[in-house]
Structure 1
Amino acid sequence: METRGRKRKRDMEMRSPFSKLCDDLLVEIISRVPFKSTRCCKCVCRRWCDVVSHPDHRNKLPRSTLSGFFYKTGNLCCRVMNRHYESLTGNWCPDIDPSFSFLPKYRLCDVHIDMLDCCNGLLLCRRQQRQPYASDYRTTDYVVCNPTTKRWVSVPGTILSSKVLVARLGFDPIVSSHFHVFEFAPAAERVSMQLRVHARTKPLGIYSSKAGVWTHPDNWKCPIEIDRYSSSTFFRGLLYLSSCANKVAAVDMEGNCRVINIPTSDGSCVARDVYVSQGQLYFVISSASELSIWALEASSTENWTLKHNVSRLKLFGDEESSNYDVIIHPEYNVILILCTRFYSTTRTFTEIMSYDMDSRELHSVSDLGHDCKSPYLPYVPLFSHSLADGE
């Protein structure tokens, strides 16, 4: 016999507007919330739990969160950097092999694989192969791979690929299994080796895995500087890139560019980073005195809200011989801080720390080791085997 409390609960569920939605529409709604919220949806009622747990729906729902990050090591004497992966969540994610042994085999001395970007479970790498009788490398192509499932796709290079300073990946598994590669090359008049490092990027190439070709918008104009150290993130079909100026460039898949002004900060800015967390775009400003985090209220506006700030003194004490990179957790109000201390002009040591924005508590996580190099690419595993044109 049904108890009064259980009957009342069932009646409330039946009166809920969501009770009138079919399972497919309910899955479509839940698929657009972060991984943490998806887990909470299972606790709403028995029906929601069954919908989220059903095998037919799993590929449509967020199934993972931040598990670790990729990085490189090497000093000024090294010609080639070593690749590494640092796990942050224990053994729940399959072992990640940063050597990418699942890629086609090449003679180690003849090929160099450089990690460029990571987006929603896929990793973008550039393959450079040494030409016969040449002393340096020449870019041959790119590789987009899933380190979790070990599936990969080869992306052909362009005539400008050997001069490329910035290449980024755009991928949203909820929308499509296809991806886009954005290639920013320096202007033709500034491609000499002497100016290569500091050249401003002008030409834009966009590769579509669905079409299998590169497109180069003739009217591409970017009013801000984008260099190899520009932070980026892909969010709702737009690639957001930071710049040395107080601006963010938002580029869509057709090459249309919109510039967003960012809040100015007091003091000299050391770095500016853009991230997506909990379904919102964030901008991190690291100055000589503090670290501040701003949230964009709506993608169609330039209204930023200060979410949090913390003094450099609280994070590092009175140490001056240190630098740091930050990673905002995609699901929680937590910042990962990669603090690098300099012992000499060629020797560094990096420590991982976590900072909770709610409790304002700082904790040491682990020591990363010597001679670590940015960019630190946060990795959210993608367990789905759907990778368009995958090998």
Structure 2
Amino acid sequence: MAHYISSPKLCSRFESKNKLSSRCYIDYLSDDLLGQIFTRVPSRSTVACKCVSKRWLSLISNTDFIKQFTSHQHSLFKSMLIFVTPRELMLAFWDQSQHNQSLEIPISFPPDMLIKGKGSSICGCSNGLFLCCNNRYTYGSGYYVYDPLVKGRIDIPDPSPPLTCIENLYAVGFVCKPKQKVTARRSNKHNFRVVIIKSFLVRVSEIKVDVFSSKTGQWNHIVMKIPKGFAFAPHWLLSFSYCGKLYFMGRANIFVFDPYSRKRYTINYPSEADAMNIVSCGFLGISCSRLRIADIRQHDLRVWEHVEKNQWDLLHCIDISTKLPQKFCVNYYKRVAGFHPFDGDIVYLHSYAEGIFVCYLGTRKFEAVPGYEKADISPFQLEISDLLLPQESRAITIN
């Protein structure tokens, strides 16, 4: 498409070779055209463009551009990749079926980085809140809850007596119940629980659990029995939350704990699955309100769905050796990055070197998500609706 330039001032600029040599042709593009370009590059590159000029900084920071960028990124792969820390990505999702099939996501925060501060690690995510730690999360201390909407934090006191010991490692869980009424600015009165369990590699039938309640502001020490026994995996001490429960993956089964009612039970892994491979390279999560497990090996990707008690159905077994790059298939550190919570046909794969791939289970097609190589990906996921300002306060800008 040709554009006729009628402005004498612009014409004189194009006629002057000296001025053209000192400026880039992209400077003459309109804000609309620049915005279209920025929406088509990964968020990491878009954020880096803020440093080019004041004009680009103003354009990329504009609320209308953020909505346009987020909606376009989400439309490509039905997900959005957010840098929650400088080096860690997190998958975020928008449920259009619950929002009148809206194509524009009314997002109220920039997609560059949610959690500020050096040395913070994420060890839990629930209903838009993050459980973070100033140290290694396995130390059992230094936790705080971060709200990215208002950029506020709630420091969690260390258990008494202190759990920290260089010889001990602790598993961590975090769950927050959704608030009944959303206000323009969130208060600090959240109904959440932080759970710490001293890890053990030998199967035991009795465990000690420390639970912090946001209502009381105190820790409770609980001793509970697990009839079928449980043992943590040596390299996985996190959990994911769903419907008020925490799911811990162990060496031979999954420990499910409700810190509100203190109910607990265990779920066995699929009989044909390798439990340690699931813990190392697989994923345990929710898709379409059903519990699913996936694991990935050198040649195949398998997905199971939990039916009842300890019964799992194998939904998909896909040969990946001819569909993905060989470097990805032979990479020992590749893993399943997550399920799409609202579309049961989509699974995300990741490796640090090759980046992120989207797997469409129904058609067995794979698609690379460009621009996210050399980045880690969080085992937790976000629903974008948990990070939106309420309707009456959409005009508020979060800096």
TM-score (norm 1): 0.60
Q: 1:122 aligns with which of 126, 129, 132?
A: 129
CA contact (8 A) 1:69 1:85 kept: yes
1:170-228 superposed Cα distances (whole Å, 9 cap, x missing partner): 123167941111112246xxxxxxxxxx8999542111112221112123555222445
Q: Does 1:378 align with 2:399?
A: no
Change (3 A) 1:285 1:71: farther
The verdict on how the C-alpha distance between 1:321 and 1:226 changes in structure 2, with shifts beyond 3 A counting, is: closer
Q: Which residue of 1 aligns with 2:185?
A: none
Q: Partners in 1 of 2:389 and 2:273 — Cα distance?
A: 47
Q: Which runs of 5+ in 1 are unaligned?
A: 1-64, 74-81, 130-136, 188-197, 341-347, 387-391
CA contact (8 A) 1:66 1:330 kept: no
Which runs of 5 or more structure 2 residues have no equivalent in the other structure? 1-77, 95-103, 182-189, 391-399
| Preserved CA contact (<8 Å) 2:356 2:370 | yes
Of residues 339, 342, 356 in structure 1, which corresponds to 2:350? 339
Whole-Å separation in 2 of the counterparts to 1:308 and 1:315: 15
SS at match of 1:283: strand
* Percentage identity across paired residues of the two chains: 17
2:265 is matched with 258
Quote the residue 2:3 is aligned against: none
Q: Structure 1 174/184 Cα, relative in aligned 2: closer, same or farther at 3 Å?
A: same
Q: Tell me the SS of whatever aligns to 1:362.
A: strand
> Secondary structure, in 3 states, of the residue corresponding to 2:321?
helix
Is the 8 Å Cα contact of residues 143 and 154 (structure 1) preserved in structure 2?
yes
- The question of whether the paired residues in 2 share the 8 Å contact of 1:171 and 1:180 is answered with yes
Q: Is 1:310 matched with 2:325?
A: no
Provide the residue aligned with 1:184 in structure 2: 197
Any conservation in 1 of the 2:84–2:114 contact (CA below 8 Å)? no
1:45-64 to structure 2, matched below 5 A, reads none
**Superposed displacement of residue 331, structure 1:** 0.7
Q: 1:235 and 1:84 mapped to 2: Cα distance? A: 21
Q: Hey, which of these two has a bigger chunk of helix by percent?
A: 2
RMSD in angstroms over aligned alpha carbons? 3.7
**How do 1:80-229 residues align onto structure 2 when only pairs under 5 Å count?**
82-83=87-88, 92-93=106-107, 94-96=109-111, 98=113, 100-101=115-116, 112-128=119-135, 141-158=142-159, 159-161=162-164, 163-173=168-178, 177-186=190-199, 203-219=208-224, 221=226, 223-229=230-236
Render the CA deviation track for 1:255-313: whole Å, top value 9, x for unaligned.
Answer: 44311112123679633421012111111233344221111124xx2222222222231
Amino acid at match of 2:291: L
Residue equivalent to 2:254: 248
What are the superposed Cα offsets for residues 155-178 of structure 1, whole Å, 9 maximum, x if unpaired? Answer: 212211565432121123167941
Matched length? 278
Q: Give the direction of change, closer, same or farther, for the CA distance of 1:212–1:373 in structure 2 (3 Å limit).
A: same
Partner of 1:133: none
TM-score, structure 2 as length reference: 0.59
Q: Report if aligned partners of 1:333, 1:358 keep a CA contact under 8 Å in 2.
A: no
Pair 139,127 (structure 1): closer, same or farther in 2 beyond 3 Å: farther
Structure 1 residues 266, 185: closer, same or farther in 2, change over 3 A? closer
For the pair shown, the structure with the greater C-alpha radius of gyration is 2
Per-residue Cα deviation, 1:87-135 (whole angstroms, up to 9, x for no partner): 788975321453634x7xxxx6xxx311112223221101239xxxxxx
1:71–1:376: 8 Å Cα contact kept in structure 2? no
